[in-house]
Amino acid sequence: MNLPEFGQKLRELRTSRGLSQAALARQLPVSADLISIWERAYQHRGRTWRPDRAAVVRLIEIFADSLDMTDVQRWTAQAGYRLGQTELQKIFPTLTVPSDLSSRTPETTARSTLLAMLPDTHLFGIGRERQQLRLVLEQASAPWLVAIDGIGGIGKSSLAAALVRELASTDRFHRIAWTSAKQEEFFSRSGLEALQRPALDAVTLTDSLLEQLGEPLLLTRSPAEKQAGLFALLKKLPYLVVIDNLETVIDYQTLLPALRQWANPTKFLLTSRHTLHAYDDIYCFSLKELSQSDALALLSYEAEIRGATALASATPAQLASIYEVVGGNPLALKLVVGQTRVLPLTQVLDNLREARSKKIEDLYTYIYWQAWHALDEAGRQTLLVMPLAQGGTLTHIAALTDLHGTDLTQALEELVTLSLLEVSADLEQPRYRIHRLTETFLLNEVAKWQAPP
Ligand SMILES: Nc1ncnc2c1ncn2[C@@H]1O[C@H](COP(=O)(O)OP(=O)(O)OP(=O)(O)O)[C@@H](O)[C@H]1O
Ligand SMILES: [Mg+2]
């Protein structure tokens, strides 16, 4: 990895096209400050800002005309990534992929597809937690079922994704599969169909795993044959199966006996808002809030990448007062940073003081209402359709709104700036999703408020 050289190349490519940082930022979309940070390989507390994988893929698509395959490989390596065969062929359809890449096995291709779909955000203050869980997952003995629990937005899915990233680069597991018990899936190829997916139970989990673990032929068999096939597969070699949001499975207790049977040598990593401490054989790890110093580091980082200049120059006392109200909940902190883009910092702080005594759920509702009021009509319209377009592309979202062209991209950019919308990696194009808590707010609060009396 060589981030200064990556940044230099980015600046060269951008200026050769006559693009301003803001113009390039709009195409990704990210904030213009982030382009500047990447170009300068900006450092903070000894850590250098690194674009996530989705951003690198997007940059390559934007500058594809000015790059050849060697440039692409060198540039992505400078950012610490390596593109898969499918990705390269997408960008350079007429080129033959070099033999070291075309000889990739189905396992390596599946792995890079999985990693491209998972969020890859910079995480603060969870080094020890990550280490501890990694050891538990690496050991080839019980516990076979490992759970991360904690309140919404605390970082369970992010921690699980970080573990998957680490373990995918080792040969500990034959393959890794990720299923989200919630319909908004990282793997939904078409966001709009995602809502029609059935809720997770042993039958749908079987199908999803057979598909991800490279046994799609078994999918055409009877349910009993599929179950037997999956059982044989998971018992033969060690796989890692992640089930995200287990608590959203209606009656998840009935799924646990199936997981117990499938486990060993395969391991299951579960995330859940409910604790599973009652189950003796499940190793439970409760994710706690970030410490004050980690929360402040997250605030500074987010302020920097979202271009929240007022917050970036806030005094330590002002930052500490945000922590006093919001605590160390990463999602809440990110949302507050977003608000400082549109409201004066003092007002955000005053508003937060009013919420000081509230429970975390109420605090979220409060923060979301603030954000909602800061949005213009296009932003609100776009946000409201997101529950129907989870994981959707620009085209999906455009089909659900009256907005097109720059109106839509500006609305998306505004939502990203406010941390209301997350852009996730995809092999082909950016996909957008809202956090589950944002979705809950839209469906429970805004929809109620908008309904006719
Ligand atoms: N340690 C961390 N450092 C920085 N950002 C974090 C950290 N943990 C989580 N985040 C960010 O906070 C947000 C919420 O995290 P995540 O989605 O993992 O929460 P969760 O616990 O899975 O929530 P839910 O219960 O709703 O599924 C994400 O945008 C994520 O990038
Ligand atoms: Mg989650």
| Cβ neighbours, 10 Å, residue 151 | 19
Q: Give the Å distance between the CA of 149 and the centre of ligand 2.
A: 10
Output Rg (C-alpha) for the chain, integer angstroms: 22
- pLDDT for 237: 94
Residue bearing the CA closest to ligand 1, atom 8: 155
Q: Which atom of ligand 1 is least distant from the CA of 436?
A: 26
The tokens for 74 are 């060198």
CATH of segment(s) 375-453: 1.10.10.10
Ligand 1 neighbour 438 (Cβ under 6 A)? no
Spacing of C-alpha 98 from chain mean position: 31
Ligand 1 neighbour 124 (Cβ under 6 A)? yes
CA distance 73 to 83: 7
The answer to whether 327 touches 292, Cβ cutoff 8 Å, is: no
The tokens for 444 are 């429970």
The tokens for 261 are 């049977």
CA distance 110 to 214: 8
Q: Which atom of ligand 1 is least distant from the CA of 333?
A: 12
Sequence spans of domains, the chain = 3-104, 127-286, 292-368, 375-453
Which residues have CB atoms below 5 A from the ion given as ligand 2?
157
- pLDDT for 452: 53
- pLDDT for 13: 92
Q: pLDDT of the chain along its 453 residues, tens only?
A: 888 899 999 999 998 888 888 888 888 878 778 888 888 887 766 666 788 888 888 898 888 888 877 788 889 888 888 877 677 777 776 554 444 444 456 677 777 777 777 777 889 999 999 999 999 999 999 999 999 999 888 999 999 999 999 998 889 999 999 988 764 433 333 333 444 455 678 888 898 899 888 887 888 889 899 999 999 999 999 999 999 989 888 778 888 999 999 999 999 999 998 889 989 999 999 999 999 999 999 998 888 887 788 888 888 888 898 888 888 999 989 988 988 888 888 888 887 777 777 777 788 888 888 889 889 999 999 999 998 888 888 888 998 998 888 899 899 988 988 889 988 655 557 788 898 888 888 888 887 766 554
Name the residue among 355, 306, 297 with its Cα closest to residue 335.
Answer: 306
Ligand 1 neighbour 331 (Cβ under 6 A)? yes
Ligand 1 neighbour 248 (Cβ under 6 A)? no
**In this structure, which ligand is nearest to the CA of 119?**
1
Ligand 1 neighbour 157 (Cβ under 6 A)? yes
Q: Which atom of ligand 1 is least distant from the CA of 151?
A: 25
**In this structure, which ligand is nearest to the CA of 306?**
1
Q: Which atom of ligand 1 is least distant from the CA of 123?
A: 3
* Mutational test site, ligand 1, from 272, 331, 433, max ligand atoms within 8 Å of CB: 331
Q: Which pTM value belongs to this model?
A: 0.74
Ligand 1 neighbour 176 (Cβ under 6 A)? no
CA distance 348 to 291: 21
**In this structure, which ligand is nearest to the CA of 441?**
1
Burial 1-11 (b: 16+ CB within 10 A, else e): eebeebbebbb
Residue 237, CA atoms < 13 Å, CB-side half-sphere:
10
Domain 3-104 shares a fold with domain 375-453: no
Q: Give the Å distance between the CA of 361 and the centre of ligand 2.
A: 15
Ligand 1 neighbour 41 (Cβ under 6 A)? no
- pLDDT for 127: 92
Ligand 1 neighbour 424 (Cβ under 6 A)? no
* Mutational test site, ligand 1, from 157, 165, 292, 442, max ligand atoms within 8 Å of CB: 157
Ligand 1 neighbour 51 (Cβ under 6 A)? no
CATH of segment(s) 127-286: 3.40.50.300
Q: For 207, phi and psi rounded to 5 degrees? A: -60, -45
Which of the following CATH numbers is that of domain 3-104: 1.20.1070, 1.10.150, 1.10.260, 2.60.40? 1.10.260
Q: Give the Å distance between the CA of 154 and the centre of ligand 2.
A: 8
Ligand 1 neighbour 286 (Cβ under 6 A)? no
